[in-house]
Amino acid sequence: MAEKDTNAPQNGASQKSSLPKRFYKDVTVADEDGHAAILLDGKPVRTPGKAQLAVPSRALAEAIAEEWRAQGKHIDPATMPLTKLANSAIDGVVGQADAVIDDILAHARSDHLCYRASGPEKLLAAQGQHWDPVIAWAKEVLGAPFNLTEGVVHVAQPDASIEALKGEVEKLDAFGLAAVHVMTTLTGSALLALAVALKRLTPEEAWAAAHVDENFQISQWGEDEEAKARREARKRDFDAAARALELSES
């Protein structure tokens, strides 16, 4: 058996050493042309695309500033989901809204809520409990009926329904679009993401609805630690997107 290298860094130490060191002391928020900008020692924060990190509301800017203040000796992007979302909105949505909307609508055409299990009854009941009210809301309030199917074979959705969703999504600003896009990709459901944005569901209700199938499998077979960690990371990003939506309106 080979001897253990006692000089090799442990995983945690290795990961931390690869992170950039904190280079600033003070984090403040300043008004910049109708937006709220985050400053480090009086200097603007830049996105990966070199744009200024500035957001629509003071409340959202303060929440992002708190992420920067909370950093220790190193800056860990994994602990800064609001900053990540703001960077995505500024670099990836501003000027590219049509492409983001198209991707959200592509998810709507194969929305997770439209694909139902054939059994067992307990799973079918859980899907109906969490998903049917959202399908009914889309039809009755948004004017967007959706077709349901059993299994995973693709079912086409009415073009008029997709257009109705497009009309709602187009009302969102860049930060709203970024948030809805994140929630859509994390849940596989544009309907759930839009239900949160339009306050039909709370974020917790939407997250629970998105994981009906997964929760059923966990109840039957348990959950391994790696899968749990991945789910927690996705939940952190989902919660940040929902929080950004709320704070953008403050």
Tell me the per-residue pLDDT of 113-157, one tens digit each, with 9 for 90 and over: 999 999 999 999 999 999 999 999 999 999 999 999 999 999 999
Range(s) of the domain holding residue 153: 97-248
119 occurs within a structural domain: yes
Same domain, 44 and 158: no
- Across 117-241, the runs of DSSP E, i.e. the strands, are 149-150
Q: What is the CATH number of the domain that holds 101?
A: 1.10.3580.10
235 occurs within a structural domain: yes
- Dihedral of CA 31/33/34/36: which sign? negative
Q: How confident is the model at residue 17 (pLDDT cuts 50, 70, 90)?
A: low
Same domain, 107 and 225: yes
- Token pair 């969102």 is at which residue? 172
Give the model confidence (pLDDT) of 90-103 as tens digits: 999 999 999 999 99
In 3D space, the residue among 231, 240, 111, 250 whose CA is nearest the CA of residue 178 turns out to be 240
Q: State the pTM of this model.
A: 0.90
Question: Considering its fold, how many domains does the chain have in total?
Answer: 2
Q: How confident is the model at residue 4 (pLDDT cuts 50, 70, 90)?
A: very low
